[in-house]
Structure 1
Amino acid sequence: MRNIFVVVHPEASHHTDGLVGGWFDSGLTELGTRQAGAIARALADRLDGRKPEIFSSDLSRARRTAEVVAARANTSITTDPDLREKSFGEAEGKPKEWLRARSVPLPDVGERLRHDEGIPGAETRMQLAERCYRALARILESPVEDQIVVTHGGPVTLLIAAWIGMPIEAAGRVQFPCASGSITTLRKDPRNFSHQLVQLNDVGHLLQA
């Protein structure tokens, strides 16, 4: 059995300020800090005393969430820059309207992963996908049965795609929307070794915050 709990960091200051996140290093808000506590309690209930490994994006909002979860689980965290949100280049930290006015939308058909959004310095979705596939491969090298991955909204889809074995070139067509503060559960069945998406975007625990 292997359980991977993929957590999207909760409310951060760039959300409330209407700014583009990406690699802009915003911190948790007061509500976000309470939500991190609710996430930690929910994960503790699911782990039922088992000690997990915790991996986190190195950006403050994710790392702080992971620290709250780790304190509850009495364990440490491993930070990994490959778990960061997609970089939006020059748009980071600017108002979201600035990005919307300049961004070139994804095409319906054709090249979507390598699409140039028109923002200097921004990553393509392929670059994000390559990071996420690498990160999950490293996480799966460990034999530990319970793992927690604290990341951002953008990487979740690509971590799921990597988990189910989707070829990276096909990942440009999929999206698994997950809200801030959500928990998504991935599991490897010990009988037939299938990779399961057990629960997507669980936010019920946030009512506690």
Structure 2
Amino acid sequence: MRTLYVVTHPEATHHVEGVVGGWHDSQLTPAGIRAAVSIAQALRAQIPNSAEVELFSSDLQRTLRTANEVAELFGVMPNLDRRLREKSYGEAGGKPQEWLDQRFIPPPAVGERMEHDEGIEGSETKAAWAQRIYAATNDILHHPCEHQIIVTHGGCLTFVVASWIKMPIESADYASFRAPSGSITTLREDDFFHNRQVVSLGDTLHLDSAQAD
């Protein structure tokens, strides 16, 4: 039995400042830090104390701070992987969201979507973004650990889940698994059929305590 817990980092400064995230290295807000503590506590409550746990994280500050809260409760070091970063928006990173909105060219409803040029200098295509998330997820799954935690970004969740269910990357052009910031998605593979289940998607019940503080 393998269980993969995919965490989307909680509230970061770019959320409240109204600027584009992507590779812009924003930090968690005070509310985000409280949520990260709640995330760590929720994971600790789900995973047996005796279980071996591996922790993987994007190397950006907002995900690393979240991963460090988890690491403290589990007594492990986060394995940093820049492939788990959010999509790069190139020159738009850190600029006002409206700057991007005015220039962004959305993908067509029908036609080439994975290699679509969004009109932003240096922005990743969906294909490049998907390829690195698939590669990172597949490398993580080659480890024989029964409990693995990935701390990443909201946009990346789609490709982690798509990779998990072995969706061909060329078929991910319309895929979208959305989840709120600070969520936990639970994925499980059984030992008999080796089916890969999506147990829960974007759970945020653990954030109730953080919001009450």
Q: TM-score, normalised by structure 1?
A: 0.99
Letter aligned with residue 145 of structure 2: V
What residue is the counterpart of 1:2 in the other structure?
Answer: 2
What residue is the counterpart of 1:203 in the other structure?
Answer: 204
Letter aligned with residue 29 of structure 1: T
Is 1:113 the counterpart of 2:114? The answer is: yes
- What is the root-mean-square deviation of aligned Cα atoms in Å? 0.6
Aligned-partner SS, 1:16: helix
Q: What does the per-residue CA deviation read over 1:51-75, in whole Å, with 9 as the maximum and x for residues that have no partner?
A: 4100000000001100100101111
Aligned-partner SS, 2:107: coil
Instruction: Decide whether the 8 Å contact of 1:6 with 1:184 is kept in 2.
Output: yes
What are structure 2's unaligned runs of at least 5 residues? Answer: none
Matches of 2:84 and 2:24, distance apart in 1: 14
Aligned-partner SS, 2:206: helix
Q: Percent identity?
A: 52
Moved over 3 A (4+): none
Letter aligned with residue 81 of structure 1: R
Within 5 Å, which residues of 2 pair with 1:66-77?
Answer: 66-77=67-78
What are structure 1's unaligned runs of at least 5 residues? Answer: none
What residue is the counterpart of 2:63 in the other structure?
Answer: 62
* Residue 106 of structure 1, CA deviation: 1.4
Matches of 1:119 and 1:137, distance apart in 2: 29
Q: What does the per-residue CA deviation read over 1:1-53, in whole Å, with 9 as the maximum and x for residues that have no partner?
A: 00000000000000000010000000000000000000000000110212410
Is 1:149 the counterpart of 2:182? The answer is: no
Within 5 Å, which residues of 2 pair with 1:1-209?
Answer: 1-49=1-49, 50-209=51-210
Aligned-partner SS, 1:204: coil
Matches of 2:35 and 2:52, distance apart in 1: 21
Letter aligned with residue 33 of structure 1: I
Instruction: Decide whether the 8 Å contact of 2:52 with 2:145 is kept in 1.
Output: no
* Residue 190 of structure 1, CA deviation: 1.4
Q: TM-score, normalised by structure 2?
A: 0.97
Matches of 2:44 and 2:139, distance apart in 1: 24
Matches of 1:187 and 1:28, distance apart in 2: 29
* Residue 113 of structure 1, CA deviation: 1.0
